[in-house]
Structure 1
Amino acid sequence: MTAHPDRQAVGTLLRHVLELLDGDVAKVYEEQGLAEYRPRFSPAVRALLADGPLSIGDLAAAIGVTHSAASQTAAQMARAGVVAHTPDPRDARRRLLTLTPKAHALLPLIHAEWAATAAAMTELDAELTTPLAQVLTELAEALCRRPFRDRIAAAAARPDGAAGTDNSGTR
């Protein structure tokens, strides 16, 4: 039986759920003969398929992550032989990410896994009171409207003693 994180430790709980989901998707990739392919590659592959060669900055914007996160993912993808860095023909100072022939050869397997994962997520959502993507989208939108740091500062400033408790949910 898997231990469950403290429900008040929301950050820990989110990481735990992500580990459960990504871990099983990674196992499926491995079983399909795609041991070098990681779940975190999929958003980048989708963006590169849709928009062609992209700089790290453009990739980060396309998939909604920081430049650093996109750079780390691109480095892992390059080590796995899924992307290559090529000079930008319009600006020699910039490098673009392109999918390699190896990536293109793997696309039928990757597309099949994406479809199976989407179907499995639909099945999982049916077991939940609210679909996971809906909750996460609402959460992201709420945090864009008012960042968590602002919420923490407001809670700490309240005279009701909220600042003295450890209910930050980010442990």
Structure 2
Amino acid sequence: MEDPTEQSLWRPLHELLGRMDAEIGRIYTDREITGLKPTYVRELLQLHFRGPMTITELADALGRTHSALSQKVSAMRTAGLVRTVPGADARSKQVTLTAKSKKLVDLLAAEWRATEAAIAELEAELPYPMSQVVRDVEAALVRKSFHDRIAEKLGKQQ
């Protein structure tokens, strides 16, 4: 049997996004900011603009699962970017910005805007904008889910 991971239509997209995230990360490195990852910025800005939130509230605001946000909050807490305190009930935790991340908020908002402007510039150079690709893929997945497409292919193999 051959290794199926040697072929991938998906990998180039993941690698491209990884390279783009790494380039954003260089912005933080250039400014000697430690512990900050590009994947934390949206959460930090949400907490800044909306105020402290429970993990559930933050997950809902971002369209993520509680489990995924809980793991991310833990990593951001380790990096010194957020802190958690008991919430209104014993099962919830309130997430707040630390002094370290409060100092970064202006830069993070500016970087977000600059990143969006850079993406718009990049899209203008392309014959088919990335944002249109996303909309087209989403529309195709409304017609038939990714799960159903994979399950169908698995059914044909058995």
Q: Partner amino acid for 1:42?
A: V
Give the match's secondary structure for 1:84: strand
- Consecutive unaligned residues of structure 1, counting only runs of 5 or more, are 1-5, 158-162, 165-171
In 2, Cα distance between the equivalents of 1:45 and 1:113?
Answer: 13
Higher relative contact order (CA 8 A, sep 6+): 1
Matches within 5 A, 1:59-78: 59-78=58-77
In structure 1, the residue matched to 2:146 is 148
In structure 2, the residue matched to 1:134 is 132
In structure 1, the residue matched to 2:115 is 117
What per-residue deviation string (whole Å, max 9, x for no partner) do you get for residues 19-73 of structure 1? 1111111111111222321000012112212332222222222222232321221
In 2, Cα distance between the equivalents of 1:61 and 1:23?
Answer: 27
Normalising by structure 2, we get a TM-score of 0.82
In structure 1, the residue matched to 2:79 is 80
TM-superposed deviation, 1:156: 5.1
Normalising by structure 1, we get a TM-score of 0.76
In 2, Cα distance between the equivalents of 1:134 and 1:117?
Answer: 18
In 1, Cα distance between the equivalents of 2:55 and 2:142?
Answer: 23
Q: Partner amino acid for 1:37?
A: L
Preserved contact between residue 51 and residue 96 of structure 2 (Cα < 8 Å): yes
Matches within 5 A, 1:1-171: 9-88=8-87, 90-143=88-141, 146-155=144-153, 163=156
- Consecutive unaligned residues of structure 2, counting only runs of 5 or more, are 1-5
Q: Which runs of 4+ in 1 moved over 6 A?
A: none
In 1, Cα distance between the equivalents of 2:151 and 2:129?
Answer: 30
Q: Partner amino acid for 1:151?
A: R
Task: Name the structure with the higher helix share.
Answer: 2
Q: Percent identity?
A: 38
In 2, Cα distance between the equivalents of 1:66 and 1:91?
Answer: 20
Q: Partner amino acid for 1:40?
A: T
The number of aligned residues is: 153
